[in-house]
Structure 1
Amino acid sequence: MTRKKKQVAVALVIAVMVVSLQRRVFDGLRGRGFVQVRGLQLMLNGEPFFAHGFNAYWLMAVAAEPSQRPKVSAAFRRGSALGLAIARIWAFSDGSHGNSSALQISPGVYDERVFQGLDFVVAEARRYGIRLILSLANNYDSFGGKAQYVSWARSGGRDLPDDDAFFIDPLARLFYKNNAKAVITRVNKLTGVAYRDDPAILAWELMNEPRCPSDPSGASLQSWIVEMAAHVKALDGNHLLEAGLEGFYGPTAPPERRQLDVAGGGLGADFIANNRIQDIDFATVHAYPDLWLPEREPAEKREFLERWLDAHLEDAREKLRKPLLVAEFGGSSRQRGFSMAERDAIFGAVFSRVYWSAGVGAVGAVFWQALVAGMESYGDGYELVLEELPSTTSFLIENNCRKLTHLSKRVASLRLARGSSGQPQLD
């Protein structure tokens, strides 16, 4: 064989291997379409999409070190086995902040090693049938956050009073927009698929828990969400978008709603106004009764949790007319009165509310947070090690995932039956 023929043969072998890898990666998802919104439901390939999931903010940072990538695979493998179908993760890590996992080192400058870690996360999620919510920035200074953007803007000559200037300063806004574009248009080095074209991504999140306490009127954050949501949608018409809100009500909310803001008064967020923005596809709420009401008894915390969820489900259904995802919830082992039974009671209350509101607002719940064995340093009190779940917790998760899957099939069957009989189909 001539040298040229050998080169051609090698090239063909490499091409076959790449195609094989891509097929292996793509095979995990149930259907290859993008999740969409129809009324109060998420839809996938014409069928309702209800799903529970887990938060694992650490996936990109861990995957940046190739030797640690088995932890990522283990999380997806175990999560998929439990029936979990959503993972919410950080797709940000900005500036030098004491670790080696910075994705955006300085404005527009990226560590390719960390980006390839995110490539691996997206590819593995698709392999195991997990759809991702990718958050684009942090409100807090961990992993850089809005403080890092303000610092960069100050270095660019801006005289900014505090970190909340992130929401109003044109240069800080430009830095955010440029970073969003870099992530959304990224072409995965493992699959060859741009993130904005990959169905493994369920949705983008503008920011993790955005707050602007310097403007309790809510105007600054509202303006920022309007602008950034339009920017993301202009870059990516395939994927859904949510703001990352915790669910705190603004000053325009009725008194009975404002009374629920036990931890959020004056934070500049507005659950109703922020989620009414046209480019926001679905609403989110976080739920931490033990963190927000640390001195209350367990029964009082559960009662608050139920009222908190009921209020947001009602408002999503009646005022927003958009689906609602419980994007964070959990129970901390570091809080007074903790027991696994109490944590299970929190999980049970959230799952129950989601199930009975599925199809008329609720679409799923994503607990905080999932770890795998050997990650003790990531523990924050809320962690659940997926391979070591207590039997009661495992039963709760698996049983409620099965119930939502069964409900999806029932609603799809009803839709098909009504459609074929000439009756109105469900929206």
Structure 2
Amino acid sequence: MRLSFLAGLLALYSCSVSSVTGEISAKWSVPSGFVSTNGRNFELDGKPFAFVGANSYWLPLLTTSDDVERTFKTMQDAGVKVLRTWGFNAINGTELPGALQSNLTYYQLWNSSQWILNDGPQGLQRLDNVIATAEKHDIKVIVAFTNNGSGLELYINWIAGAGNTHDVFYTNPAIIASYQSYVKIIVERYKNSSAIFAWELVNEARCAGDILPSGHSCVPGSNTLKTWYRQQSDFVRSLDPHHMITTGGEGQFFMSKPFEFWFNGTLVSDFNFNGEAGEDFEGDLGLPNIDFGTYHMYPQLWYPQLDFPGSNFTVENWGLFWINQHINAANRAEKPLILEEFGVSGLDNKSSIYPTWVQHALDTKHAFRMALINSTSSSIMPWQFGELGLTESGGNRLIKYSDQIFRGASPNDGNTFYINQTQVWDIFTRAAQIQDQRSG
């Protein structure tokens, strides 16, 4: 299916939405089986819904239903209640021959400013199977519409053209209309499914991308991302009054007096708190159609200049600090919160650091409950869930770039954990049991 002329796209972009009052009141009358919010907590059919979730971007990339089924069975046995995966996979036209040869899953094919939708057996039918299998195993799904890196920059390169900065994705009317056209297809395909937990506007939106830099109009205080979050969450709400919506952001703050740290004898303003990334976690969370907050946590990657033997910086303690900052902000916003991605490299680091982070997230909620204070519900979703025993292509398949199934194991980016890594696995299965006891 080819999405046609620009006028049609712009018509979508200018689509009117209902009033804020109407939007909020509509969300309370959710159908049976849909997860919703009640103040600072998630609810399912009127009962508390606390959970440990899983990230698996690669699930829709699998080519066999048996391997998808196997993965969901492992998740269900581990106590996973929510899966987060990509609702996007796009390729350039030059990549099509290779994609057809390798059986690569793709949903959008870019050959011009008008992308082509692939809703066939190598396209959205694979996402259909993931959603259906999740429902079979009583697992809800967070679906992300695009990704800050290559996802956004395909829109920029094909519609706005060369020489543009990364942030034009958030302001260019033709790009926004094209994004909304794709979002409309995904939302309308699954909006009646109770398997959907929430819609996610973009994974890790920032002013800058993996390749393209940010422009002068996306700077601290410009509210470029906040404005875009508002527009797109209102648009999605106009399509679907019942499912929750979230940003998918990493959770950076925009503080009037941001934290600083010393490096090489210089006091450095902290990127995670000075608004340079483009996010304003607390301000964004206050938007009427953003139903809950998300944040990510990778201190090893974010502070490599500080993470060295003998320094005063510790990955573990910084993570506890980051968790506290977001719980406090979510409490003020009166909305639930998900630690949506977190990871450290190395099995020893995982075994020693994860228990502290996970226990702190769980204890924070528990401590407030004991004090009879309605604290924000904080759920966790480690990056990322791994599966063993995959059988497609004999258990060995190069998917794309460095993504591969190797000896039956799903893609491993260094943060992946598997069932045979029992010390790490048990951290999350225990947390899942605690969260299950807190649910209705």
- Structure 1 residue 281 corresponds to structure 2 residue 291: yes
Q: 1:392 to 1:290 in 2, by over 3 A?
A: same
User: Which residue in the other structure is 1:414 paired with?
Assistant: none
Q: How does 1:330-409 map to 2 (within 5 A)?
A: 330-333=343-346, 340-358=347-365, 360-373=375-388, 374=395, 375-376=405-406, 378-386=411-419, 388=420, 390-409=421-440
Aligned equivalent of 1:89, options 85, 88, 112: 85
1:254-273 Cα deviation digits (max 9, x unpaired): 43499664598511111111
1:235 & 1:279 partners in 2: Cα distance?
A: 12
1:146-173 Cα deviation digits (max 9, x unpaired): 1111122136xxx862222111000000
User: Which residue in the other structure is 1:120 paired with?
Assistant: 129
Q: 1:177 to 1:103 in 2, by over 3 A?
A: same
Q: How does 1:109-258 map to 2 (within 5 A)?
A: 109-111=116-118, 112-113=120-121, 114-141=123-150, 145-154=151-160, 161-186=164-189, 195-213=190-208, 214=214, 215-217=218-220, 218-250=222-254, 252-256=255-259
Normalising by structure 2, report the TM-score.
0.75
2:109 & 2:289 partners in 1: Cα distance?
A: 29
User: Do the aligned residues in 2 keep the contact of 1:108 with 1:178 (CA within 8 Å)?
Assistant: no
Q: 1:341 to 1:135 in 2, by over 3 A?
A: same
1:45 & 1:103 partners in 2: Cα distance?
A: 33
Aligned equivalent of 1:321, options 326, 334, 347: 334
2:302 & 2:246 partners in 1: Cα distance?
A: 23
1:226-247 Cα deviation digits (max 9, x unpaired): 1101010111112101001101
Q: 1:263 to 1:296 in 2, by over 3 A?
A: farther
Q: Which moved more, 1:104-113 or 1:198-207?
A: 104-113
SS in structure 1 of the partner of residue 148 of structure 2 = coil
Q: Which moved more, 1:240-249 or 1:266-275?
A: 266-275
2:386 & 2:67 partners in 1: Cα distance?
A: 9
SS in structure 1 of the partner of residue 198 of structure 2 = strand
1:371 & 1:253 partners in 2: Cα distance?
A: 40
Aligned equivalent of 1:269, options 235, 256, 279: 279
The CA deviation at 1:289 is 1.7
1:108 & 1:322 partners in 2: Cα distance?
A: 36
2:258 & 2:163 partners in 1: Cα distance?
A: 34
User: Do the aligned residues in 2 keep the contact of 1:52 with 1:366 (CA within 8 Å)?
Assistant: yes
1:288 partner amino acid: Y
The CA deviation at 1:32 is 4.9
- Structure 1 residue 312 corresponds to structure 2 residue 326: yes
User: Which residue in the other structure is 1:44 paired with?
Assistant: 44
User: Do the aligned residues in 2 keep the contact of 1:108 with 1:179 (CA within 8 Å)?
Assistant: no
SS in structure 2 of the partner of residue 315 of structure 1 = helix
1:205 partner amino acid: E
1:182-205 Cα deviation digits (max 9, x unpaired): 11111xxxxxxxx10111110000
> How many percent of aligned residue pairs carry the same amino acid?
27
User: Do the aligned residues in 1 keep the contact of 2:258 with 2:274 (CA within 8 Å)?
Assistant: no
Q: 1:76 to 1:284 in 2, by over 3 A?
A: same
User: Do the aligned residues in 1 keep the contact of 2:148 with 2:206 (CA within 8 Å)?
Assistant: yes
